[in-house]
Chains A and B, each alone.
Chain A
C-alpha cells in the first residue's frame, strides 16, 4: 500500500513538472514580438469596452452552495455503498432514510426556485 502511494506522490511531482517544463520550454522556444495593439484584449475582435470587474449574477453562488451540500453527501454515501452488501438490510434502510432527507432537500431547493437558471 505504501508503494502505491509512493507512485501517487511521485506522479504528482512528475505531472507538475511536466506542466512547468512544457510551459517554460515553450517560453524559451517561441518568438516574442510585442506591441500594444497585439497585447490588447481580443474579447470578440472589436476594441473591448468596460472592465471585467462586473457584478455577477447570484445564481452562480446558489449553485456552488448546492454543489458543496450534495458533494459532501457523496462522501457519506461512498463508504456506505462499499459496505452495503455486507451490512445487509439495516444499512440499506438507514441509507434509505438518509437519501430521503437528501431528496427532500433537493425538492425544497427546487420548490424555492433555487434550481431555476435565468
Chain B
C-alpha cells in the first residue's frame, strides 16, 4: 500500500502571476487553513516534491524553467495549475510574451480556477491531486512489473 497520498510535499512555482494566487497559496499554510494537517509540506526542492503547484501564465522566459522543474521531480507526481492565469493565461493571454496556461509546456492534472483562487479551492485542488496519487502510484507499479 503506497503512502504517498498521506505525505504529498508541495513545490510552489510563481510563473508570471500578479502574486494574488501566491499569497493565497501561502495562506493555506497559515493556522487558519493549516494544510499541514494533511501531511502537506511546502518544500523548496523539486527533487523532494510530489505536487507541482504553479501559479501565473507561462511566458517565453520561464518556459524552460517550468520544464526543468517538472523533469527534476521524481515519479509519481501531480501538477496543479492554480488560478485563471495558470489554467488558461487569464487576462494576460493576449500579451505578446505570454504563451498561455501551464498546460502549454507540461501536462497539468488539476485545474483550480479563480482570480485569485481562494485557499478553500486550492486545498480542494490539492486533495483532488492527492486522490490522483493512488492511481498514479498503481499505474507506475504496473508499468514496472
**A and B: interacting chains:** no
**Which A residues have a C-beta under 8 Å from some C-beta of B?**
none
